[in-house]
Structure formats: C-alpha cells, structure tokens
A and B are shown apart, each in its own frame.
Chain A
Amino acid sequence: MHQTFDATLEMNLLHANQHGADKNRAQLDSWGITCLNLMSSPGSGKTQLLEKTLQQLNSELQMAVIEGDMTTQLDAERLRRCGVPVIAINTGRACHLDSRMVAGGLLQFANEQQPNEFDLVFVENVGNLVCPAEFEVGEHAKVALLSVTEGEDKPLKYPIMFREADCLLITKIDLAPFLEIDIETIVANVRQINSKADIFLVSAKTGEGLDHWLDWIRQKTPASCC
C-alpha cells in the first residue's frame, strides 16, 4: 500500500546554486575580497576591458581573475600577460558559470595564492546574454557589457541581464561614429528596465571613459581607500 502526500517546498529552482553563491560570497568576504561578475554576449569586449583595467589598477589593488570559457584557455592567457593570477574554468557545454564552478576556482585560488592579500576578483563569465544573469556565483556586483555594434534593441530583447546589472558598460564607443547607432536610445532602453544601474560609455581601445569605470571599481573595493 502507498499513501500519497503533498509537500509544499516553495523553493527557488536555483536554490542549490544560490546556496553555493552565498557560500562563495562569505568566503570572499572573509578574505576581504570584492568580486565583480562581468557578463555580456560573445565578443562585447570583456577580456579587452579587463586587460586595460588590470593594467591601470595594478599599482593600487591586488587583483585576480576567474575566467570562464567554454573550451579554450585563450582569454586566460591574454589576462595572465597582465601579471595577475588567472584561474581558468572550462565550462564545457555549460553556457554560463555557476556557483559550484566558481567555488572550485576559489579553492584553486586559495591553494595557489595568499587570498588575504587580495582586494578584487573579476569573474569573466561565458559570452552569453541570456543565462549568466540567472546564475549568481557569489559576486558583490554584476557588470553587464553591451557593445555599440550589437544594436539598440538588445536591452529590450534580453532584458534580464540588463535588469539585474548593477553597472552597465556600453563598450567600443570608438566605433560609434562608423555605425548608425544612437547611444541615447540604448541608454533609454536600459532605463526602461533598470532605473538604478550606473551606466558608463567606454572604449577599451582608446581608453575613453575608462576613468569613470575605474572610479566605480574603487568605490566597490574598500581596500583601495587605505
């Protein structure tokens, strides 16, 4: 004989991921590290922005990168040339990082480095405008990138990432003069779904606008004021 029961769970489908993310954040907090999760579609300029950012902040902050890539080590190698530790995570077929993968990355980081000496860890997520937004990894803030070559409508078509972002970087603005793109429309479209995010226009190529982005990072990183 079987008896049937009904149990109310009211549990987030991503409960396990969320739990892991909270643990990662607690771990990072115990080391005094701020963690920023960079997300965008493939090729929006995450790695190039990181290269510039690492170079410019190297004298102020101890930084490391957790690099999520589906199959290659190419981005990790580019970033290692900036002289910071880079933990590469190959996600295989998964199109985003999850908190378990990042926990593995943090463990490796703790084994290889003195985590207490670090101030800032960047996570470069897998290039994908959809799923990374739903999978928290333990970051303190989400940074979304959108390059001017992608079109004004992307925030409307892929709203969740832009809704969740604490900071939005409109990248490759050096290319704007060559395109029929209206940056004000991009900003207005983002503002429809996110009235709070800090929005900066940047070019990793020319360096334009990077100061505002670097100041934003400094604000998020308590260690930088001492």
Chain B
Amino acid sequence: MHETDMTKALILTVKDWLSEQSGHPVVERIHLTVGQFTCVEPASLQFAFRAQVQGTFLEKSDLVIEETPLLAFCHPCQQEYRPEIGLQYACPVCQSPLEDILSGRELKINRVEFSQPTSV
C-alpha cells in the first residue's frame, strides 16, 4: 500500500508548510494533481488520507485530486501523442521511444485553502 506512504508524505509536507505560516491557519482543502503515469491510485490515496487524518490537524480537511493524462512529445514528428499505458509507449507514427513527458508524472500539492481566525 504505497498510497499509505504517499499520504504520510503528504501530511508531513503540509505540516512543514503550516509550521512556516504565521497565526493559526486551519486547512480547509488540499488540491493535488496526480498524473496517470505514477504509481498512485487516486481512490486509494483518498481512502488512505481519510483514514490517516483522523484525530489530526487535517481531520476536517478535504482532499481534492485532479488526474492528468499521460501526454508525450515526439521530437522527430514534432507532435504530441497519448501513449497507451500498459500497451504502447513509443510514438504511434514513427515508433520513436517515449522521451519527453508533457504531463502524467505529476505528484503535486498544488494549493491549500485555509482559513485564519481574523484578528479584530
């Protein structure tokens, strides 16, 4: 269950970030981008997140996951293409190997929505 470890890493990262903020921010929503060409399954990640944040500072926070498709760029063809994961990664036109990945490798915390008790 690597999603469990990913979640641990996610919580650590948000915790680190939070410790650098002033005041007492409360995390409302965490926005992630998870590429299709990673070893992370969004549903499992969501599940692991809910299980692990129980009783922590993130208990009331939502996890919003956006998935990005695997998109590659073929230099000989100067063309984007969508490899078929599990079947075919080379360029379907000229068979050049998968080189540049334009999207699909993201495992990113994009942004955090948080609230701050307003001081009067």
Which A residues form the contact surface with B (CB < 8 A)? 1-17, 93-96, 98, 130-131, 133-135, 156-157, 159-160, 163, 191-195
Contacts and interface: CB of A to CB of B under 8 A. Distances in A.
Interface of B: 1-2, 4-6, 9-10, 12-13, 16-17, 25-26, 28, 32, 34, 37-40, 85-90, 97-99, 107-118
Nearest to A5: B114
A131 B2 contact: yes
B17 A9 contact: yes
Given A14-B9, A156-B86, A163 B98 contact: yes
A96 B25 CA distance: 33
Contact of B109 (A2, A13, A130, A133): A13
B115 A2 contact: yes
A13 B13 contact: yes
28 contacts: A1-B118, A3-B115, A4-B113, A4-B115, A5-B114, A8-B110, A8-B111, A9-B17, A10-B108, A10-B109, A12-B107, A12-B109, A13-B10, A13-B108, A14-B107, A15-B9, A15-B13, A15-B16, A15-B109, A94-B5, A96-B2, A134-B39, A156-B86, A156-B88, A163-B98, A192-B98, A194-B97, A194-B98
Residues of B contacting A: mostly: mixed
A156 B115 contact: no
A96 B85 contact: no
A3 B110 CA distance: 20
Given A9-B112, A134-B39, A159-B89, A2 B2 contact: no
A156 B86 CA distance: 5
A135 B3 CA distance: 12
Contact of A192 (B17, B38, B97): B97
A2 B119 CA distance: 9
Given A11-B108, A16-B9, A131-B5, A3 B116 contact: yes
Contacts of B5: 94-96, 98, 131, 135
Contacts, number: 114
A2 B90 CA distance: 51
Residues of A contacting B: mostly: mixed
Most buried by A among B9, B37, B98: B9
A95 B37 CA distance: 19
Contact of A6 (B4, B6, B111): B111
Contact of A193 (B97, B116, B117): B97
A16 B111 CA distance: 16
A146 to B, nearest CB: 16
A177 B37 CA distance: 34
Top 5 closest pairs, chain A to chain B, by CB:
A131-B2, A13-B107, A2-B115, A195-B97, A192-B89
B98 A2 contact: no
A134 B9 CA distance: 12
